Amino acid sequence: MSKTSRQAEQKVAIGNGVRRKPSREEIWRQVAKASFAVLSYVTPNGEPRSSGVVYTSGRGRLYVAVAPDSWKALHIPATGQVAVTVPVRRGGLMALLAPIPPATISFHARAVVHPAGHRHIASLLPELAKLVPAERLADCRIVEIFPEGHFLTYGIGTSLSSMRSPAAARARVPVN
């Protein structure tokens, strides 16, 4: 794909104006800078659940350490499907003066729950050690999250003032 067609693909028509659609790379940079997300899943009985989690990212995936007896460790394997929303803090000093909601990056994902000693996870120990104290890392479970489909963003790649307009603030960007 040429640079010109890539630039045209990244622009989204908004009324009479045009705004830049965030790139996949820009979205991953925001995901990598953040460390908190809301992880949602469904229990085996079909009940929706969500909870805040601390994560690390790499290799196009997110990794979450959970207790072996947590609902996340017990229920996510039933379907292997989750939804993730990463709030992205915006506003700097202005956020202290006015209530500015965070921008968000949301996506559906496939998730696998690994025992902590799993060889694939062992290579991630330095990153995971930032999430969990060393004494707990040995017995926790690691949820590996593989984003699928599209990133749905709100306020990524837009000014704070344009976040007031849903049409200007929303974007849909393919994960791959």
Whether pLDDT at 165 is above 50: yes
Whether pLDDT at 125 is above 80: no
Select from 165, 30, 158, 167 the least CA-distant residue to 85: 30
CA 33/CA 27 separation, integer angstroms: 10
Q: Are 68 and 117 in contact (CB under 8 A)?
A: no
To 5 degrees, how large is the angle CA 160–CA 162–CA 164? 90
CA–CA distance from 81 to each of 47, 143, 150 (Å)?
13, 11, 15
CA 112/CA 115 separation, integer angstroms: 10
The per-residue pLDDT for range 26-71, each reduced to its tens digit, is 999 999 999 999 999 999 899 999 999 999 998 899 999 999 999 9
Q: Are 80 and 87 in contact (CB under 8 A)?
A: no
| Range 70-94 average pLDDT | 91
Question: pLDDT band at 148, cuts 50/70/90?
Answer: very high
| Range 72-80 average pLDDT | 95
| Range 80-96 average pLDDT | 87
| Range 3-9 average pLDDT | 49
Q: pTM for the full model?
A: 0.84
CA 134/CA 116 separation, integer angstroms: 11
Pick 14 or 130 by higher pLDDT: 130
Reported CATH class of domain 23-174: mainly beta
Domain residue limits, the chain: 23-174
Pick 41 or 9 by higher pLDDT: 41
Q: Are 76 and 70 in contact (CB under 8 A)?
A: no
| Range 132-148 average pLDDT | 86
Q: What are phi and psi of 164, to 5 degrees?
A: -75, -20
